[in-house]
Amino acid sequence: MTDSPAPRIPLDPKEQPILDKLLSIRTNLELLKQDRSTYVKSQDVIDLYSKVIEQVVILNEIRTTKRLEQNRVDTVLDDCFQLISLAYLTIGKNHEPPAVYSFVSTTKRLLDHLKEATFYSPKDLESISDRLEDCRRYTERGKDAYSPHLLTLLEARIAVCRQVISELKLNLSHLTPELTPKWDKLVSILRSLSACNTRSKFPNDEVDDYLEQLKQLEEELKAYGIYAYESTGTKEEKVAEMTERLMISMEHPEPAPEAKDLIATLLRRNFVWIVTIKKKQGRIAPAFREVYDKLLEIKNKLEKLTLTQSWSLRETDLWGYQRALDRVDETRVDGNFFDAVGRPADLYEQRTLLYLLRKSYATIYQLIVSSEPVSEALLPIYNQLTTLRKCLLEVKKLGGVSSPRELYPYSMKLNSIDNMRVDGKFMVGNDIPEGQGSVTALLSECFEIAYDLRNDAEDSSPEEKSAPDNESGGEVRESEGDVRESGGEVQLK
């Protein structure tokens, strides 16, 4: 895999052995993620993590007087940390400091793009802030078990992200509670328009619908003295407009000038973007077609993963997408894309490519956030239990069952999963994969729902009360008792 772009300066001869070992570790990590014949084992990942930390210690000793230096060693080191971080997610150690690294790196990229775009929702910032707070807690909790070199790095990166969030929140601080929903709507429309623009067939009708929504918003915003464009009519028309504004302001006090400018600018951007994309109809200039196709392919693949994540995603696979996006992102100069002869992209190509880039980073962020704290070795069982739980809850929502016999399929499946445990744990060979507690809790919940459904059915069907336990689903209760005695542990053959 090609390195992500990074400053290249002459390598200190003392750092060459470190680079060689890091390259070897990165190769081992890549082989680990590519091997689909078996699941990723915790001990393999932990051993490689320890080897990386050994090289970090040596590197820090060499760089006592040049802490800010960046060369190929740092690029490969970042690759190793990214792969190890995603591997920790793969083995279910989501709440350990190494797993935080990849999330924080992706978050920083996402925040930089939000800052550059200058439009985002307050809810976006709240969600990211909450996740960063979780990362801070995981880092704090791991101080006794993990290298201070890693923890110091994570703490610094989390602090940088929090600083950017503070700046972004400040930009929206002038929005009043009445204007915030309208701002959110404008953000949503602009994102939706960009999504329409990348469809294989341009959806004119859908874009026209968004145009109508914008016109309606424009009318609503006039009550707050916010206009997309200033009047260019005659003197009499301008006086009439000023009179109308005065009447409106008596009913709705005008917001701060900063808020008015913020919303008016975004409103104009929406109108301009609609005109532009309707004119272009999805046609990209040939000079930027290659990078467009590449970004569109990445975006589509990532979105497909969101649909099949629980069944097909190995988190380490995200590294390839991260690096491909980083390489494209780093080719920009002053925020713009340039063709092969150094000509900058027009507004249409620039915004279209940026949308694809930002959407892909946001999807990677969402995939990392939604990763379950369960080893991929246990995911087949975890996914089956998740599906069973959904089915049982749907049955309960629809009024339950008329007879305990209707629960037989669920009882049989739950008992077959329960019988996989060895001494209260799901085992894979001689290994005890991570995520035992999560699987056990889910199994116990399924038993509880099934037991409640059976009791409700027996209460409503007196003739079923006299049936023997082995015919009325009594084994469900017995298995539930087994789960409770196991103390929250689970295992897999």
What single-letter amino acid sits at 397? K
CA dihedral sign of residues 87, 90, 95, 100? positive
Do 309 and 428 fall within a single domain?
A: no
Record the tokens describing residue 49, joined without a space: 């993590």
Within-domain flag for 6: no
Q: CA 165 → CA 63, 108, 168, 346, distances in Å? A: 31, 10, 5, 30
Helices and strands counted in the chain (H then E): 18, 2
Q: Which residue has the higher pLDDT, 455 or 249?
A: 455
Residue 240 has pLDDT above 80, yes or no: no
Question: Does 481 fall in a domain?
Answer: yes
Q: Evaluate whether residue 384 is within a structural domain.
A: yes
Are 215 and 100 in the same domain?
Answer: no
At residue 3, the pLDDT reads 47
Give the pLDDT band of residue 45 (cuts 50, 70, 90): very high
Residue 344 per-residue DSSP state: B
Among residues 116, 164, 186, 162, which one has the least CA distance to residue 355? 116
The range of the structural domain enclosing residue 208 comes to: 180-280
Contact 14, 62 (CB under 8 A): yes
Q: Which of 46-60, 217-231, 312-326, 370-384 comes out lowest in average pLDDT?
A: 217-231
CA 378 to chain CA centroid, Å, is 22
Is 55:292 a contact under the CB 8 Å cutoff?
Answer: no
Q: Of 223, 257, 280, at which residue does a domain stop?
A: 280
For the segment 68-117, what is each residue's pLDDT rounded down to a tens digit? 667 888 889 999 999 999 999 999 999 999 999 999 999 999 999 999 98
Asked if residue 474 has pLDDT above 70, the reply is no
Residue 247 has pLDDT above 50, yes or no: no
Taking alpha carbons only, the member of 86, 24, 91 closest to residue 54 is 24
| Gyration radius of the chain's alpha carbons | 28
- CB 65, CB 8: distance < 8 Å: no
Same domain, 33 and 165: yes
Domain shared by 249 and 361, yes or no: no
Note whether residue 26 is domain-resident: yes
Residues 24 and 116 grouped into a single domain = yes
Pair (104, 71) in one structural domain? yes
- In a domain? residue 2: no
Sign of CA dihedral 166, 167, 170, 172: negative
Res 9: pLDDT = 53
Q: Bridge-partner residues for 421, per DSSP?
A: 426
- For residue range 390-418, what is the model confidence (pLDDT) as tens digits? 999 999 998 888 888 899 999 999 999 99
- State the residue for tokens 């900063």: 258
In a domain? residue 7:
no
Q: Which of 341, 367, 393 is the last residue of a domain?
A: 367
Q: Is residue 463 part of a domain?
A: yes
pLDDT at 257 over 90: no
Residues 193 and 246 in one domain: yes
Do 164 and 47 lie in one domain? The reply is yes
> Is 471 within a domain?
yes
**What is the CB-side half-sphere exposure of residue 408 using CA atoms within 13 A?**
7
Backbone angles phi, psi at 313, to 5 degrees: -85, 125
Residue by residue, DSSP assigns 410-463 as HHHHHHHHHTTEETTEE-BTTB--S-HHHHHHHHHHHHHHHHHHHHHHHHH-GG
> 222 and 301: one domain?
no
C-alpha angle with apex 384: 483 to 310, nearest 5 degrees? Answer: 120
DSSP-based three-state secondary structure for 336: strand
Question: Are residues 323 and 424 both part of a single domain?
Answer: no
Predicted confidence band at 489 (pLDDT cuts at 50, 70, 90)?
very low
Q: What is the pLDDT of residue 462?
A: 58
Which of 38-52, 243-257, 308-322 has the largest mean confidence? 38-52
pTM: 0.82
Q: Which tens digits make up the pLDDT trace of 424-472? A: 899 888 888 999 999 999 999 999 999 999 998 887 765 544 444 444 4
The model's pLDDT over 145-194, given as tens digits with 9 standing for 90+, comes to 999 989 998 999 999 999 999 999 999 988 888 899 999 999 999 999 99
Q: What is the mean pLDDT of residues 372-386?
A: 91
Rounded Cα distance between 54 and 57, Å, is: 5
Other CB atoms within a 10 A radius of the CB of residue 240 amount to 13
Share of the chain above pLDDT 70, in %: 84
What DSSP designation does 333 have? B
**Residues 402, 256 within the same domain:** no
The residue out of 229, 263, 280 marking a domain boundary is: 280
The sign of the torsion formed by the CA atoms of 19, 21, 23, 25 equals negative
Q: Which amino acid does the sequence have at 309?
A: Q
Task: Examine the domain organization and report whether 275 and 320 are in the same domain.
Answer: no
Counting the structural domains of the chain, the total is 4
Average pLDDT over residues 204-225: 92
Of the two residues 345 and 481, the one the predictor is more confident about is: 345
The residue that leads in pLDDT, 258 or 239, is 258
